[in-house]
Amino acid sequence: MVLETVSNTLAQNAAFVPGETVIVAVSGGCDSVALLHLLKRWGESNTINLHVASLNHGIRGAAGQRDLEFVAELAARWRVPHSVGQADVPSLAREWGVGIEAAARRARYAFLARVAGEQGSACVAVGHHALDQAETIIMNIARGSGSAGLRGMRALSPLPGHPGLRLVRPLLQLSKDELETYCRDHKLPFRFDDSNDDIGYRRNFVRHELIGRMRRLNPALLSALGRLAETAAVEEDFLSSSFDSIVMPLLTVSPERWRIRTEDFATLHPALQRRFIREAYRQLSSGSARLSHALTLDLIGWSQSSATGARRDLSAALQMLLSYDDICIERKGAPPARAGYRCISANTNREIRLDAPIIYPNLRLCLSRGLPASDAGQSLLLPASLELRLRTRRPGDRFKPQGMGGQTRKLKDWMIDRKIPRELRDQIPLVCADGEILAICLGDEWRLADCRHFEARDADCVVLTLA
């Protein structure tokens, strides 16, 4: 029955590739010894190679070293190649600024990844079982996790910190009692770790204090939590798929920012709005940080109530900002998104003198002598003596739009009316003469000023062509 359960778990998740080497984490305890024995039996009719890996965490002194020796002897007796390692977890915990349990887990996964690399393996198997699953779910609930935390551990997932490796948990559907019975029935030796009874460790506290009491309410607690994990996993997969199919096509994504149109964001279900905020934050922070539930909701409310141009600092060197049409989460100091605008370097102290002949293909600007081609776009016939300059805006700039009877407007107000993103306004190209703006490059076209007074009145002229 136990082997059948393991076989079903492996088959349902397509966990192993025929012929591959699987690194089996063995501590010497009941769970990992049962895991190794079950995989050996399963491998009799399935082509995989096993390699045992065991790490002394440096927490239990001589007992930890004896565990390591036990695993090496067991692997040799069962004719399975093995690797052993040593770590000083207490020192690593201080160095990394984390607790003993977190440091032990991180050191263990790093060791397993190293062994996998040495053996040319892409797969690691560990002995987590149904009680471990229950502990994980309860600890996630205590931390305030969302639906992703209710999934608990998966039978197949990336190895934490090493996404190129697969982590397989063949025993998740089996209880601790079933594994102990399996070891007794097959006369399998194993070691007992007395630190498992120390409720000073959070996981042990959950196991001995919380789960023990909860089982009085429901003796089938482990099965109930297993069903919860399975249901949460299915629903989380559906939400993830919905995000990919509904939200991702609405986004503009780059290594520097995630952007969505405000009106598109408003139409999304709240669950997808939250996922956009969290996923953008996670991706842009390279997974180094997470947003709390409260902050996620606060950011959604802020984005819906704040004015255009509002900016909100986030942790992990990120910020959230609102433009006329978009909600954007980006890395601080990222170059502005040009969004179809043709821009030049922002430098109010620098002008580029335009002397014919000259061509700027990227700006679709040409200054030449002679008559313009009929299909060349907008053209201005200007005196050759007129000094033309290409620059970006300056404080106090005004613009005389066509059709306003010669009236001028502040360039800042004109740009605001046309919803030019604030972060791009200092990079918009301007063609100027005698301190006046003749043309502004706006997206895919140039906007001409009312500049009839500059028109050439003799043959000594140049042609400014703006496509």
Res 423 pLDDT > 80? no
Q: How far apart are CA 392 and CA 348, in angstroms?
A: 6
Q: Which two tokens stand for residue 41?
A: 């039996």
Cβ proximity of 372 and 379 under 8 Å: yes
Cβ proximity of 16 and 46 under 8 Å: yes
Q: Could you tell me if residue 246 is inside a domain? A: no
pLDDT, one tens digit per residue, over 334-359 is: 776 666 777 777 665 678 888 888 88
Relative orientation angle of helices 2-12 and 30-43, to the nearest 10 degrees: 70
Q: Could you tell me if residue 215 is inside a domain? A: yes
Task: Specify which residues 25 forms β-bridges with.
Answer: 53
Please check whether residues 213 and 82 belong to one and the same domain.
yes
Instruction: Give the dihedral sign, CA 352/356/359/365.
Output: positive
Q: Could you tell me if residue 337 is inside a domain? A: no
Please check whether residues 287 and 320 belong to one and the same domain.
yes
Domain-terminating residue out of 301, 331, 361: 331
- Which pLDDT score, from 0 to 100, does residue 349 have? 62
Name the band, by pLDDT with cuts 50, 70 and 90, for residue 198. low
Cβ proximity of 357 and 343 under 8 Å: no
Q: How far apart are CA 447 and CA 164, in angstroms?
A: 52
Report the DSSP pairing between strands 21-25 and 49-56: parallel
Domain containing 267 — which CATH number? 3.30.465.60
Q: Could you tell me if residue 336 is inside a domain? A: no
Please check whether residues 327 and 369 belong to one and the same domain.
no
Res 373 pLDDT > 80? no
Query: Closest Cα partner for 25 from 82, 63, 86?
Result: 82
pLDDT, one tens digit per residue, over 23-38 is: 999 999 999 999 999 9
Please check whether residues 307 and 408 belong to one and the same domain.
no
Q: Which two tokens stand for residue 287?
A: 């997974």
- Which pLDDT score, from 0 to 100, does residue 371 have? 62
pLDDT, one tens digit per residue, over 165-179 is: 999 999 999 999 999
Res 467 pLDDT > 70? no
**Is 244 in a helix, a strand, or coil?**
helix
Please check whether residues 277 and 381 belong to one and the same domain.
no
Q: Could you tell me if residue 345 is inside a domain? A: no
Q: Could you tell me if residue 147 is inside a domain? A: yes
Q: Which two tokens stand for residue 206?
A: 């959950």
Average pLDDT estimate for 85-107: 90
Least confident of 106-110, 206-210, 373-377, 458-462: 373-377
Name the band, by pLDDT with cuts 50, 70 and 90, for residue 197. low
Please check whether residues 103 and 46 belong to one and the same domain.
yes
- How far is residue 203 CA from its own chain's centroid? 28
Task: Specify which residues 441 forms β-bridges with.
Answer: 446
Please check whether residues 288 and 195 belong to one and the same domain.
no
Domain-terminating residue out of 204, 234, 264: 234
Domain-terminating residue out of 273, 296, 331: 331
Least confident of 11-25, 108-122, 246-260: 246-260
Please check whether residues 294 and 183 belong to one and the same domain.
no
Q: Which two tokens stand for residue 270?
A: 């709240």
Please check whether residues 228 and 295 belong to one and the same domain.
no
Q: Could you tell me if residue 248 is inside a domain? A: no
Which domain range does residue 305 map to? 254-331
Domain containing 53 — which CATH number? 3.40.50.620
pLDDT, one tens digit per residue, over 72-95 is: 999 999 999 999 999 999 999 899
Please check whether residues 176 and 51 belong to one and the same domain.
yes
Instruction: Provide the domain count of the chain.
Output: 3
Q: Could you tell me if residue 240 is inside a domain? A: no
Please check whether residues 116 and 202 belong to one and the same domain.
yes
Please check whether residues 268 and 195 belong to one and the same domain.
no
